[in-house]
Amino acid sequence: MSTLYACISLVSALQVESVELVLRFSVATFDCIIFAAIFAHIINKQRQALVHLANTDELTGALNRKPLKTKLELSVYEYQQQQIPASLLLIDIDFFKMVNDNFGHIMGDQLLNKFSQHIQKKIRKDDLLFRFGGEEFLILLPNTQFESAAIVAEDLRRSIEEQHFLDQHTQVTCSIGVADLRQADTLDTWLKTCDNLLYTAKNAGRNCVVACA
């Protein structure tokens, strides 16, 4: 719109000023417009970068808990209004404290980073990975029903079991709780169900998936 106004003004100026003067003014005007566009683009990029930093866990690269509530509430709303399914996977690295005790906290941090990167490579573009706390990670699977979510969880568990995150002689495993979204669920009840299923998996011996059908 500002470009249009500038063009109209320049046409009007030609009627009362010399062509040379108008051309000089034109160059200065369009330089200002280009500069403003570039400046706005830079500001927008910086804003996006700040939002990304604010919503991302520095250690693992996963989303932190700041955007978690908004994303889950949106899934609950979409299910209640449009019956769009969604599922949660709550993942806990088995015996993580032993990793810190035996290998040190630096190696523990490296494990968390590698673990997160591995998951992000395995999930879909629209799936969201959050660091839920400590050695726990949460995956939101939008538009995913229970059966598909359980398959994703088992495939993920098996792939993690096959990795060598620490060394060739140390196996890292995980326990996973899977809960799909139900009509009566709220954000809190959905998370609570998934959390209970995770602890059932841990109490069952770990390195397994427990899902709510």
Kindly list the catalytic residues.
135
Residue with tokens 């397994």: 208
Residue 160 to residue 119: CA distance in whole angstroms: 8
Of 48, 36, 79, whose CA–CA distance to 183 is shortest?
A: 79
Strands, DSSP E only, in the chain? 86-93, 128-133, 136-142, 174-180, 209-212
User: 10 Å Cβ neighbour count for 18?
Assistant: 10
Note whether 211 and 146 are within 8 A (CB).
yes
Residue 94 to residue 165: CA distance in whole angstroms: 13
Residue 170 to residue 158: CA distance in whole angstroms: 15
Residue 81 to residue 24: CA distance in whole angstroms: 59
> At 17, which amino acid appears?
E
| Main-chain dihedrals φ then ψ at residue 102, nearest 5 degrees | -90, -30
